[in-house]
Chains A and B, each alone.
Chain A
Amino acid sequence: MNLLSAGKTIFNNEYFNTVGPSTRLPNDLTWETTEQFDVGMDIGIFSNRILVTADYYLKNTRDLLSDVRLPASMGYTTAIRNVGKIQNKGFEFGVEARPFTNEFSWDIIANIAFNRNKVISLYNHEDVLRDNVGMIIVSDATSILREGRPVGQFWGYIEDGYDEKGDIIYRDLNGDGNISSADKTYIGDANPKFTYGFNSVMNYRNVEFSFFLQGTYGNDIFNASSITNTMDYGFGLNMPKSVYENHWTPSRTDADYPRISRSTPVKVSTRFIEDGSYLRLKNVSLGYTLPVKKWNINKIRRLQVYASGQNLLTFTNYSWWDPETNYRLDHNGYPSAKSVTFGIRAGF
């Protein structure tokens, strides 16, 4: 059903009702279906003080639901469609270890996951361009679904420095002397080589110290946040200092940014692809359990005072606010907050 929505317009200096469809075209859809094959292995050694788990999985998703962009001349801009079949496969390894279990105890949980995905088939074998950025200076798709390529394949132009005027040179891949969308290619991959986590909990008498690290390695992020904020010089916007200090001039031709002008040409390019690998101290916590029994307070079973911090440390080369985006494209995504918490935990 093509749902219509109401609005208002003016004739005679008065309101009149309008009813028309939105820009999303409805489709006959079927459910996405997923088949998964798993093999796993759990090994416990030293009376289960070390547990090792290993899993292999193969997951096929048919009738993948995805937003598909439509030609603007249809008047509709998007439709959800069952676009095709994708495959995910990978290994997950986990280690749980308790090297000490006495007065000093230490629990460790570590895991690492390797996932690979690829598009097996698409409707009509047609590419699906998606993840559009719509800004004043750039309005284009940033990724592509293509058979044989991963989901999260970034798609754009390759930069080759600057011309004599200080404008960015884009590589003319098909050699026709013209830069057009036929010169777009694979410029990055949003999929990490692996993701990992490390959790440690240590207890000594009444003191508990724990921390949790997590990270990804080898994934690219399309930094859409930086497009307007570092490249759009037409509106007198605030810019990072590096734009001022390191833009193209005749004497600085290898600058990070092109010449400053009202109409600097910008395309979806390698410039915005950044290494999104990171290692983050998600949580660290130090607690002290008060000896309530000793104090003969019977109503409270357990009372702990603690201090903990979230996201206090991050190691990354990613230039914008936060590499921990859950999406391929970072467009001013709200960053994870650093926070410090002091508290009391009571059990009755």
Chain B
Amino acid sequence: MKKFVAMIWVAVLFAACEKALEEAPKQISEENFYNTEAEVEAAVNAIYSPLRNNLMPNYIATLECQSDWMYGRGSWTPLSNYRGLDDANITRVQGFWNNFYLTIRNANLVILNALEEEDFASYVAEARFLRAFSYFQLVRNWGGVPLRTEETMAVKDLPRKTEDEVYQLILSDLSAAMAVLPGTASASGRATKWAAKTLLAEVLLQLGRYSDAAEQAKEVMEAGFSLVSVSEKEDFQYKIFGPDITSSSEEIFALKYARLPGQGNYILWISNHPSTHLFTPGGTGAYAVHGDATNPNYLDWDDRDIRKQLWDQIDFGLGPNTLVSAKYADPDALDQNTAGNDLPIYRLSDALLIFAEASAKAENSVSEAAMEALNKVHRRAYGYAPNAPAEVDYEITDHTVDSFVDLIIRERGYEFIYEGKRWLELKRTGKLDDLIQYGKGKSVMQKHLLWPIPLSETNFNTAIDPVSDQNPGY
């Protein structure tokens, strides 16, 4: 026994000795990193951080304020008035600009430092996907922006590029990413080939390349994703957007959060009202972006649509018709920073509706497949099995291409509330003026269409003139 103890002592001493002699660099720097798979993966993970930390929840809420049936409260109010941004919102969108470019920088670092190594190809592809995603947000909200790539990331003064040039980078990043990204992610929340294809489909739809968009969306539709069956609103709250699921069968890409300190989804704080007790056991939330029961879109909405129940009518001082969203719920969150719900970016519904719209526009007729794609999303929301015909289905014979596209736009309105898609969709389809007028009775000033290039850029980038290169009205 004594001998055994002595041996342990020797082992301990020896181990201690070895540790002391190890010569690890004390600090990690760009110059000595990106050498192993674990290092490159950690660098890729850092691309997700700015998106997840306050950027995407706030960005989505900001875009929703500009939609045809949601309203910003307090400092968010001017977003819903369509007369351009005031200083508080200029500062708010400056934060988005800064953080999208922080995401892009982190992606560029991976592309720059891991590009040559064959083993790291899928990580470089993931970086390209996230870079394309960020530029797609930038170009739709600010127009042509400076193109920071692995080649230009160190150049201080960089001019605005045209929208075309930005889209060229997005397309080339996505085609490179798609070719390499795996079909199944190594961990839920990492970008896959299908995430890249859905993003590409939306980019192509934006660019009016309808048959290409339909082709990409169709591949995603056939990749094995399936809509979650729903029979009550709790199924939406907990089986699709819930805090306890890791992912759902319809999730294509989502930003991941967890009920862990500082790792929660901030959008629950923005959307919830304390009285519903849907967020933390005691109930909390800022209900900063809300709806209104007198909005014609809400009045038009069929009561049988389960999604309509994701709104609670709460009078918190703006009158009895105020609606507060119940879409994102985590009653077991520890506090306002620990909502475990993921933030949906792309779901199967996106691919289905992109396909429906793109193929109808490409073929200039409504095909069976296009109608079925729309009906899947539509009937699921009424509680029917997604893949079997139901009595609420739309019929081809009732529709022209135009009225079919209008149906899709309406369906997107119901399906993607609080997912940040509406405003950009209205701009894309040219329905903006009509639908904002219809929903809110307001006209949209030209200067509201693009956000201003922020001072954090124009003050320090001499290649962008603060007056002549600024967006209209600012």
Contact = CB atoms under 8 A, between A and B. Distances in A.
Interface of A: 1-4, 6-21, 23, 69-77, 126, 129, 135-141, 176, 178, 180-182, 232, 234-235, 262-263, 265-267
5 contacts: A1-B29, A4-B29, A10-B260, A11-B187, A178-B467
Given A16-B187, A19-B28, A180-B467, A71 B42 contact: no
B459 A129 contact: yes
Contacts of B91: 135-139
A265 B87 contact: yes
B77 interface: yes
B102 interface: yes
A18 B42 contact: yes
A141 B94 CA distance: 14
Contacts of B313: none
A10 B454 CA distance: 30
Nearest to B102: A75
B257 interface: yes
B323 to A, nearest CB: 21
Given A4-B33, A19-B42, A73 B146 contact: yes
Contact of A15 (B104, B260, B456): B260
B258 A10 contact: yes
A19 B131 CA distance: 17
Question: Which one of A73, A77, A182 has the highest number of Cβ atoms from chain B below 10 Å of its Cβ?
Answer: A73
Interface in B166-210: 185, 187-190
A2 B30 contact: yes
Nearest to B101: A73
B156 to A, nearest CB: 6
Given A11-B188, A73-B145, A18 B45 contact: yes
A4 B32 CA distance: 10
B229 to A, nearest CB: 23
A235 B148 contact: no
A71 B157 contact: yes
A136 B256 contact: no
A232 B75 CA distance: 10
Interface in B335-372: 340
Contact of A10 (B52, B98, B460): B52
A194 B258 CA distance: 58
B106 interface: yes
A11 B256 contact: yes
B248 interface: no
A266 B75 CA distance: 14
A129 B456 CA distance: 11
B386 interface: no
B43 interface: yes
Contact of B45 (A9, A23, A138, A176): A9
Contacts of A12: 187-189, 246, 256
B43 A10 contact: no
Nearest to B92: A136
A9 B49 contact: yes
Given A19-B39, A137-B87, A181-B466, A263 B77 contact: yes
B297 to A, nearest CB: 25
Contact of B29 (A3, A138, A262, A267): A3
Question: Which one of A6, A75, A139 has the highest number of Cβ atoms from chain B below 10 Å of its Cβ?
Answer: A75
Contact of B456 (A77, A135, A136): A77
A305 to B, nearest CB: 54
Contacts of A17: 42, 45
Given A10-B263, A129-B459, A72 B97 contact: yes
Contacts of A19: 28, 33, 39, 42-43, 45-46
B419 interface: no
Contacts of B258: 10, 13-14
Contacts of B11: none
B46 A71 contact: no
A93 to B, nearest CB: 41
A136 B88 contact: yes
Contact of A181 (B97, B101, B105, B459): B459
Contacts of A2: 29-31
A263 to B, nearest CB: 4
B130 to A, nearest CB: 12
A39 B204 CA distance: 74
A139 B455 CA distance: 8
B260 A180 contact: no
B215 interface: no
Contacts of B154: 74
